[in-house]
Amino acid sequence: MLKDFVVEALDLATNVEEHLLTLERHPDDLEILNAVFRAFHTIKGGAGFVNLPAMVSACHLTENLFDALRTGKASVTPLAIEAALQASGFVADQLNELANGADPASLASMPQDLEDILTQAIEGNAAAPAAAAAPAAPAAAASAPAAASTPSANGGASVLGADGSLDWNALYQAVSGGTGEVAPVAAAAVEAAPAEAESSSGHPKSLPSSTPTPKPAAAPVQARRATDNQPGNAKEESIRIDAGKLDALLEVAGESVQAANQAAVLLEKLQQFKFEGTAASLMSTLAETLGRASRYSSELQRATLSTRMQPVGRLFQKFPRLVRELAKDLGKDVDLAISGAETEVDRVVVDSLYDPLVHMLRNSLDHGIETDRGAAGKPNKATISLKAWQEASSVMIEIFDDGKGMDPDFLRKKAIGKGLIGEHEAQSHDEALQLVFLPGFSTKEVASSVSGRGVGMDVVKTAVEKHRGTIRIDSTLGVGTRFSIRLPIELSIIPTMLVRTAGAALALPMAVVERVVELPAEFDEVGGAPVLRDQGRPLPVHSLAGVLGYEPGNERVGIVMAVPHPYILSVGAVEGTADLVIKPLTAIQTNGITGTARSAEGELVLVVGLSFLLEGCRSAAKAVAQV
């Protein structure tokens, strides 16, 4: 029950933070005031039931504050917003500790400064005396089984919804009332229940989560709550599943597709022979059966993949407060504009993008946004836009700030001065901008709490490339800077072009393949490097075998790469296309290779990395040259 409470309460706490930042801009929005009140009320009920006294106290004080705000007894002030943000932060911190396995008894008590600011906000806003922090309900968790099994403790109503999910408020009231020892906080919860039951729309409120939880052994028979009969309150059927089980299911689905593909290849070879009579009939039935099995396995794979997809909005909603607090610390006025939050991407990518995006937002705030924007002829309020969208089989995430931009010459001088590059490196505009991703690079003379230690942006690039993604920078002095991240929508299966070179079977992501061309026996040269004119433009030619360290052979087929700086990759032969189930390399690291897969014939295929191809094979080429 504690685990289920933490998951649901974390969702509420995240939404509260988002609501508070919106409320700061729209202080008269009664709907948001009601939503915040209900969230703290619901969290308090669950926290009381699982015996988390500090969380109960913080939620109780905040609930008192918002009861005054939503009923018009007080107005929304900066102090009220700040107090509520601190309370939501404290609650979220405790929930995160519990989610990471902390013992509830080890959680810290409510800080005195949090109690003080909440009390000040209440006293400064409300005409009535401020409510003190309520003590925790004693022995709430210990009495849970007995109380939960006593219907009369809650007026005969069940503490379970029709779908099996716990109504934390009803459960808490059942526990408190069933023991005959209603603690002050329990009484406050009961008194607040009638007020909480009505919103601006007049509908009673139920627990915001629709996720079923395991039924407690001593719980009464399920009964439909009154809220379930209200119009517009239908609950979506859903179930919470451990992520590891989904990963295992996806692997099985991928292997079934692989097996179906191999069976199809074998069938095609068998059909080259002549069968008669019963054998011919059996072959026809076998072909039909394998075709059906192939379709079902593909559907299973697609359905499994869809369960791992999550909207990036779950991640984006964590950033408005981060930007607000950091801008405040830096003395800057910045607005964060978010779009494309509904764009879906693999859950593993969503979970791993938080730190990279934090680093980029901090970089934009500290380095990009000017302190004196008036001197630059810009509005005092700066804008940082964070947006996502789908592009072919990739998800694009972009951060743009309308700040001062980056000076490539200044970046080169800094990098040379720190000994990170030589005098003749990073000569082009784009190459100079990419210097910010070098470990140890920083333009700050003195390190601050925000930046200047030369760590951060290199971590960003490493994290993005770990998931077969790429990142690039575009910047114009006086206009602003744009960071663009490209990631595969899902990680385990990618469309590829199968090629062979130097006897090795390789797969190239189709996301960067433009077309295939025939190569001549001899090439023109520029600076000693082979060049081929393609559609009127001279493109450099790289040997795939050469950059990967294989013995170069006869490579007469060229693949034009659709990358920011186009080039041609020469290979021995192109053997078709396939959607491959990718397994990442974990035990070894090989330049240019990101994972392995099995072809339809069962042959082991090495998958060439997307970032390696986007960078024009430069990293591996340098390594091979040094060898």
- Whole-model pTM above 0.85? no
Q: At what angle do helices 319-330 and 354-363 cross, to 10 degrees?
A: 30
> Are the C-beta atoms of residues 183 and 137 closer than 8 Å to each other?
yes
Q: Which residues of 81-90 are buried (b: 16+ CB within 10 A; e: fewer)?
A: bbbbbbbbbb
Task: State the Cα–Cα distance between residues 392 and 457, nearest whole angstrom.
Answer: 27
Summarize the confidence of residues 32-59 as an average pLDDT.
87
pLDDT, position 214: 38
What is the separation, in whole angstroms, between the first and last Cα of the chain?
58
**What are the strands of the beta sheet with 537-543, ordered from one edge?**
513-518, 557-561, 567-571, 537-543, 529-534, 524-526
The CA R_g of the chain, rounded to the nearest whole Å, is 30
pLDDT, position 134: 41
pLDDT, position 527: 76
User: Is 114 exposed, middle or buried (CB count within 10 Å of its CB: 0-12, 13-18, 19+)?
Assistant: buried
- Give the 3-state DSSP-derived string for 133-185, with helices as H, strands as E and coil as C: CCCCCCCCCCCHHHHHCCHHHHCCCCCECCCCCECHHHHHHHHHHHHCCCCHH
Task: State the Cα–Cα distance between residues 593 and 150, nearest whole angstrom.
Answer: 62
Model pLDDT for residues 512-544, shown as the tens digit of each residue = 888 899 998 888 888 778 888 888 888 899 999
The helix or strand, by DSSP H or E, that contains position 354, with its residue range, turns out to be helix 354-363
Q: Residue 412: which of 400, 420, 404 has the closest Cα?
A: 420
- Amino acid at position 125, single letter: N
Highest mean pLDDT among 33-37, 513-517, 615-619: 513-517
The helix or strand, by DSSP H or E, that contains position 243, with its residue range, turns out to be helix 243-270
pLDDT, position 175: 54
Task: State the Cα–Cα distance between residues 598 and 492, nearest whole angstrom.
Answer: 13
**Cα atoms in the 13 Å half-sphere on the side-chain side of 406:** 27
* Token pair of 37 as six digits: 């009140």
Summarize the confidence of residues 46-68 as an average pLDDT.
87
pLDDT, position 218: 34
> Are the C-beta atoms of residues 428 and 405 closer than 8 Å to each other?
no
Residue 623 pLDDT level (bands cut at 50, 70, 90): very low
CA 401 vs. chain centroid, Å, equals 21
Q: How many helices (H) and strands (E) does the chain have?
A: 20, 19
Give the C-alpha distances (Å, rounded to integers) separating 526 from 103, 522, 537, 539.
Answer: 66, 13, 13, 10
pLDDT, position 185: 40
- Amino acid at position 456, single letter: G
* Token pair of 167 as six digits: 């109504």
Would you mind telling me the total number of residues written for the chain in this entry? 627
Q: Residue 396: which of 456, 507, 312, 320 has the closest Cα?
A: 312
Model pLDDT for residues 445-501, shown as the tens digit of each residue = 544 445 443 445 878 888 887 777 888 889 999 899 999 988 877 666 778 899 999
Model pLDDT for residues 73-84, shown as the tens digit of each residue = 878 888 888 888
Beta pairing class for 382-391 and 394-401 = antiparallel
Task: State the Cα–Cα distance between residues 457 and 366, nearest whole angstrom.
Answer: 13
pLDDT, position 397: 92
Model pLDDT for residues 99-123, shown as the tens digit of each residue = 888 888 888 888 898 888 888 888 7
pLDDT, position 423: 81
State the virtual CA torsion across 91, 85, 203, 122 in degrees, nearest 10: 100
Strand spans (E) along 510-566: 513-518, 524-526, 529-534, 537-543, 557-561
Model pLDDT for residues 203-254, shown as the tens digit of each residue = 333 333 333 333 333 333 333 333 333 444 444 566 767 777 887 888 788 7
* Token pair of 398 as six digits: 């972009």
* Token pair of 334 as six digits: 């910045």
Summarize the confidence of residues 301-319 as an average pLDDT.
83
Mean of pLDDT over the chain:
76
pLDDT, position 164: 55
Q: Residue 509: which of 525, 498, 517, 520 has the closest Cα?
A: 498
Task: Please tell me the least confidently modeled range out of 174-188, 399-413, 539-553, 588-602.
Answer: 174-188
CA 86 vs. chain centroid, Å, equals 24
> Are the C-beta atoms of residues 545 and 551 closer than 8 Å to each other?
yes
Residue 169 pLDDT level (bands cut at 50, 70, 90): low
Percent of the chain topping pLDDT 70? 77
Query: Tokens 């097996």 identify what position?
Result: 259
Task: State the Cα–Cα distance between residues 209 and 96, nearest whole angstrom.
Answer: 18
> Are the C-beta atoms of residues 411 and 427 closer than 8 Å to each other?
no
